[in-house]
Structure 1
Amino acid sequence: MKRIHFSLREWLQHTASAGYVAKGIIYLTIGWLALLTTIGLGGSESGASDVIRKIALWPFGRVLLALMGLGLTAYVLWRLAQAFWDTERKGNDWKGWLQRLGFAISGGLYATLAWQCATLIFHSLSQSQGSGSSQNTEQLMGIPGGRWLLLAIGLVFVGVGFHQLVRAWRRAYRKNWHLQSRPNPPLPLLEAIARLGLAARGVTFLLIGGLLALAAWRLSPGDAQGLGAALDLLAHQPFGDWLLGAVAVGLIAYGGYCFINAGYRRVRHQRH
């Protein structure tokens, strides 16, 4: 049984690491494109789906998409393991189930990105561009109670955004790092990257949640947009270039934080 637990932990470790690498690439690209926009060298305010479509146009884009799709699938499997096997030992009280539900939702969101990678690999780019955020939101609002469901989703994003800011402030990520197995880790640098990245992601999630809630309140699907629209909103504020630049650097740092987790993240398994 001990060997089985060890094998499960090894599998989860490799799965989590591959997933964090894929996630890190996406956030690094998002941040880099936003930073290029800020300094006037092209770029764009892109979300994760936009970035995946851009990667498809790169040299060897389909090969990169295949690798990223596998990494994202691994991340989804790890999130589902956290949710259903309780590998993080969150427990069965209401708080534990809420956290495990968050893992499952996160897995579902990244499953859509993995599916998009597969679609771009096996079909033409034009076929993958059929539905956007506004169209999906319009469909959601068309079902009974869809407006309130959209509002609830927006509030979840706001809650996650605040949670990311709290994690950055309290340095809660430290408990998930197995630093003792790495000789002389550059801890101040790792912490600076983690705190900046989590704070930037928290800000963007607050903006996304606000846009979703606004769409539900106004019954306007066009207001419901993702990360790209949140970055565009920042860019059009007073001192927008500075705001967008700061968040862009933060999203690049969050990509770095994902790479840190690929190497340092402690992966647990459920006790029996």
Structure 2
Amino acid sequence: MEMMARFGYGARGAVYCLVGGLALLAALGSGGQTGGSRSALQTLLAQPFGKAWLTVISIGLFGFALWRIVEALTDADHRGTEWKALGVRAAHLVSGGIYASLALFALNLAYGSRQGGGGEDQAAQDWTAWLLSQPFGQWLVGAIGIAVALTGAGFIWKGWRGNVADRLALPAQTHRWAVLLGRFGFAARGVVFILIGGFLFLAALHGNSSEVHGLGGALQSLQSQSYGWLLLGMTAAGLVAFGLFGLVQARYRHLDAPDMGDARAAVAQGKAAVVQGMKTFQ
């Protein structure tokens, strides 16, 4: 489990490096693109050994998705059962599903359809349209948008004042530059999350799923602003920094994969905390 988790952090870091690198080239007018993770993986397919790279990345992303799910259900990071901790664990559970989907996309891209399915924007618009069609769908989409934007604000705060190395066992000689990478990376990721959350909120406000955009749409919106090349360039460089920080996490993050008995006990404890919290709320 620990090996898969470390491999997963590395694969996620590689994807962010690829997305940020392509966007940085676009900002500098040297080619590149302002697409999301899926678009970046599609460009990788055309490179030498592209299918092999996609296979390796997809395995790593499956590992990361598995670790996120295990981490959420068993409290492997020992966050506890307070509401804030449960919220973080729930976000990790959602993250596991997202990265599992991206892993399937990469695998399908390598060995199935050369398009690998629709792009990020289309996928986001499809599930947003489904949510909007449900009872209280606009309220739900709006709440999700606010939650995503608040998560982005939290990332910016963590990049500015937070301890980005709190779960890393860094050697003294690498601590300073690793922390700088983490701060820059979390700040850039926060900007992107705020934009994506804003798109979701506008879609809820207007009842129009076509207003939803993913990572690529967020980068394109930065590029379309005044001094867009600068905004895009800084954000893209930050995404590369976050990708490199992911490689640092792959090597130095503290991981405590639970055994089966501990996992069952932790899941039961988390379930009991949720039930008790709901009773208190009622």
By the TM > 0.5 criterion, same fold? Answer: yes
Equivalent residue number for residue 18 of structure 1: 7
Q: Is the 2:105–2:116 contact (alpha carbons within 8 Å) kept by the matching residues of 1?
A: no
Q: Matched residue pairs, number?
A: 258
Q: How far is 1:269 from its partner?
A: 4.5
Equivalent residue number for residue 91 of structure 1: 80
SS of structure 1 residue aligned to 2:51: helix
SS of structure 2 residue aligned to 1:174: coil
Give, as a single letter, the amino acid of the residue that structure 1 aligns with 2:237. Answer: V
Equivalent residue number for residue 176 of structure 1: 167
SS of structure 2 residue aligned to 1:111: helix
Residue 142 (1) aligns with residue 130 (2): no
Residue 111 (1) aligns with residue 100 (2): yes
Q: Is the 2:17–2:239 contact (alpha carbons within 8 Å) kept by the matching residues of 1?
A: yes
Q: Is the 2:68–2:93 contact (alpha carbons within 8 Å) kept by the matching residues of 1?
A: yes
| Counterpart Cα distance in 2 of 1:23 and 1:54 | 16
Render the CA deviation track for 1:19-69: whole Å, top value 9, x for unaligned: 111111111111111111111111111111211222223232221111111
- The match for 2:147 among 156, 169, 172 is 156
Unaligned runs of 5+ in 1: 1-10
Q: How far is 1:95 from its partner?
A: 2.1
- The match for 1:51 among 33, 36, 40 is 40
Equivalent residue number for residue 268 of structure 2: none
Structure 1 residues 87 and 132 mapped into 2: Cα distance closer, same or farther (>3 Å)?
Answer: closer
Q: Which 4+ runs in 1 deviate beyond 6 A? A: none
Structure 1 residues 103 and 138 mapped into 2: Cα distance closer, same or farther (>3 Å)?
Answer: same
Structure 1 residues 153 and 185 mapped into 2: Cα distance closer, same or farther (>3 Å)?
Answer: same
- The match for 1:63 among 38, 43, 52 is 52
Unaligned runs of 5+ in 2: 266-282
SS of structure 2 residue aligned to 1:129: coil
RMSD: 1.8
Give, as a single letter, the amino acid of the residue that structure 2 aligns with 1:99. Answer: V
Percent sequence identity over matched residues? 34
Render the CA deviation track for 1:221-242: whole Å, top value 9, x for unaligned: 1110001111111111111111
Render the CA deviation track for 1:78-110: whole Å, top value 9, x for unaligned: 111111111111112222211211110111111
Equivalent residue number for residue 109 of structure 2: 120
Equivalent residue number for residue 201 of structure 2: 213
| Counterpart Cα distance in 2 of 1:211 and 1:81 | 30
Structure 1 residues 133 and 95 mapped into 2: Cα distance closer, same or farther (>3 Å)?
Answer: closer
Equivalent residue number for residue 278 of structure 2: none
Structure 1 residues 262 and 126 mapped into 2: Cα distance closer, same or farther (>3 Å)?
Answer: closer
Kindly report which structure 2 residues correspond to 1:245-256, keeping only aligned pairs within 5 A, or say none.
245-256=233-244
Equivalent residue number for residue 267 of structure 1: 255
